[in-house]
Copies of this chain bind each other. A is one copy, B any other.
Amino acid sequence: AWNGGPELSHPDGWSFGVSGRLNYDAAYIDAPESTGRDEGFSSGARRLRVEFEGEVPGNFGYDLGIEVGSGEAVVMDATISHRSGPVTFMVGQHNTFQSMEELSSSLHTSFIERAAFTDAFVFERRIGVSAQYFQDDFLVQGGLFTDNIEAPDNRNEGGDLRIAYTPRIGSTQLHVGGSVHYTDLDGLTDSLRYSQRPLARPPRTRFVDTGDFSADSETGIGAEAAAIMGRFHVAGEAFWQHVERADFADPTFFGGYAEIGYFLTPGDRRGYRKGVFDRIRPTNPLNEGGFGALQFNLRYDYLDLQEADIAGGEQNLYGASLVWTPTDYTRFLMNYAYIDYDSAVIPTASGDNDYGVHSLSARAQLDF
């Protein structure tokens, strides 16, 4: 079978597939010139990834994803799993069930970069053990995690739980969910740093940024909701990140977004599967003589890193995106955002910290 790359399998319980993805981005950032961060044009590879997935007899599975491009070979998912009916057990590096958008593959997001809070609160893959249950539209995911594989030491230890209810009513797909997260930190000066770029990755400037700060623990609470109704979809999330600090006030940071999208091409709809957004499969793809799918999305994205003693700034982002999906395995995205910063950490020459930044970016994407 083919699923981008080839998938080989054998009735005895063997399977193997290679998959991968290539994302190339170009971005244009227009910031007040006197901030010294009016970056203008930049471009680069956003993701070059290859992944080996398969099963061996006994309902065991594996996944090893590797990202290249930086000179490094960065390990993404790297898991050993075991399937037992509706339950899947996993050991190894994987996502900590953080949020619907973080867990949806980067192949299927509606904007080039995800919601501000997902990077700001350092959602990442970590080494851990987990169990996932899915049956009758009901999803439960829970695990115990330590650090990302490249973290030098065992500094973090935590637990994560996510629940979602995902009924399909007629042709409408609904999603409501929530998650809780706790991480025990080491209390050192550089325990945490929350920051975010202006909806584009080649640019490096972070206009909101807490800098390093000490922390004893993080407690996160997330809420998720989405609906897909034919060519329409709506989605929204909210995430509260509470940080315990030994000799300081405890801040509760917050981020969230609301999005609405519509396919300009009849018959197309957003993909969805087991608690996350999934692949768009155009009704009239380019390879069958059609135009593919064309989707228009609007998003409001808020992030507050200005709490208690921490002055990381605040952002209100207003974004629009156009996503052309000529075939199941190719996409071209363009998005524009106006980001309104309050208390940005990079002042203008006149000392102003409240200003707006324009962010325009484009992506070419293929996966296999």
Chain B CB within 8 A of A69 CB: yes
User: A12 an interface residue at 8 Å Cβ cutoff?
Assistant: yes
A71 at the interface (CB under 8 A from B): yes
How far is it, in angstroms, between the C-alpha of A326 and the C-alpha of B56 when the chains are bound? 12
CB pair A80–B287 under 8 Å, yes or no, is no
B6, B44, B56, B366: the one contacting A329 at CB < 8 Å is B56
Residue total for A at the interface (Cβ-Cβ under 8 A) = 63
Q: Are B64 and A48 in contact (CB under 8 A)?
A: yes
Alpha-carbon gap, A54 to B50, bound state (A):
13
Closest-by-CB residue of B relative to A151 is B44
Q: Is the CB of A5 within 8 A of B13?
A: no
Q: Known contacts being A22-B62, A329-B60, is A73 close to B72, with CB within 8 Å?
A: yes
Contact with B along A33-53 (1 / 0, CB 8 A): 000000001111100101010
Q: Specify the chain B residue showing the minimal Cβ separation from A326.
A: B58
Contact of A24 among B5, B45, B80 (CB under 8 A): B80
A96 in the interface, Cβ–Cβ < 8 Å?
Answer: no
Within the oligomer, what is the number of copies of this chain? 3
The answer for the CA separation of A74 and B287 in the assembled complex, in Å, is 33
Contact residue among B44, B79, B80 (Cβ-Cβ distance under 8 Å from A149): B44
Q: A66 to chain B: which residues have CB within 8 Å? A: 50, 68, 73
Subset of 26 A-B contacts with CB under 8 Å? A5-B16, A5-B52, A20-B52, A22-B80, A44-B146, A44-B149, A45-B75, A45-B127, A45-B149, A48-B78, A50-B66, A56-B327, A56-B368, A57-B328, A57-B329, A58-B285, A58-B327, A58-B330, A60-B327, A60-B330, A66-B68, A69-B149, A71-B73, A71-B74, A92-B364, A154-B202
A interface list, Cβ under 8 A from B: 2, 4-6, 8, 10, 12-14, 16, 18, 20, 22, 24, 41-45, 48, 50, 52, 54, 56-60, 62, 64, 66, 68-75, 78-80, 91-93, 127, 146, 149-150, 154, 202, 285-287, 326-330, 364-366, 368
